[in-house]
Amino acid sequence: MQKVNLCDACSKEKGVQDPTGFALADLLLGIGAAEEIEKGSSTQRCPVCGFTQADFKKAGRLGCSTCYATFTEALTALLKAMHKGTAHVGKVPQRAHRAGELSDRMRNLNESLQKAVAEENYETAASLRDQIKQLESDLAP
């Protein structure tokens, strides 16, 4: 059991109105969880696993990794209340590291290409297009 002392302003921000009326989701997931879940449309389904917000409310666990993207709105506040920060700063798997670098490079190339086209620098544009094609084939699984 974690005890939290909140001032008026913070308690509103965290969605506490009635201190005696905490929902189960609040107890399990931190203050404000139940309200966040209510807010989202309960008909939304995860395209990968078919999970809904109602399922989450019941189980307190998600259906699959894609649920994080599907229910991102509801989860953001929840994660903020639950953790020290809102972004991961720890270990990055090699695969994701490489994919992250590649997607950064792709974005840079696309920006350069647009610039080259706008400046009617077609020779550069052609070379950039080749590099993008090469990178696309690298990225393909």
Partner 1 sequence: MKFSNVMSNAGEWLRGEGPHHQIVVSSRVRLARNLRNRAFPGWAKKAERTSILELIKPHLEKLPEMQDSFSELLQDLSALEKQVLVERHLISREHAAKSAGSAVIMNRRQTLSIMINEEDHLRMQSMRSGLQLKQAFKLLDKIDTALENELEFAYDQRLGYLTACPTNVGTGMRASAMLHLPGLVLSELINQVVQAVSKIGLAVRGLYGEGTEAMGNLFQISNQTTLGEKEDEIIARLTKVIETIIEKEHDARQVLIQKKSNTLWDQIGRAYGVLTYAHAMSSKEALNLLSIIKLGIDLNVFPEEKRLPIDELFIDTQPAHLQKTSQQKLNAEERDHLRAQIIRARLKVLPKPDISNLAKDSGDGSSPASSEQ
Among 100, 111, 114, 134, contact with partner 1 (rule: CB under 8 A): 100
Name residue 14's amino acid. K
Can residue 108 be called a binding residue for partner 1 (CB under 8 A)?
no
The closest alpha carbon to 31, from 71, 72, 78, belongs to 78
Among 18, 91, 137, 140, contact with partner 1 (rule: CB under 8 A): 91
**Phi/psi at 45 (nearest 5 deg)?**
-120, 145
> What whole-number distance in Å separates Cα of residue 82 and Cα of residue 25?
12
Say which residues have a Cβ less than 8 Å from residue 68's Cβ, sequence separation at least 6. 62, 75
Q: How far is the CB of 118 from partner 1 (least distance, A)?
A: 29
Nearer Cβ to partner 1 (16/29)? 29
Could you give the angle at which helices 122-139 and 94-118 cross, rounded to 10 degrees? 160
Can residue 58 be called a binding residue for partner 1 (CB under 8 A)?
no
Binding mask 20-49 for partner 1 (x = CB under 8 A): ---------x------------------xx
Among 8, 85, 120, 140, contact with partner 1 (rule: CB under 8 A): 85
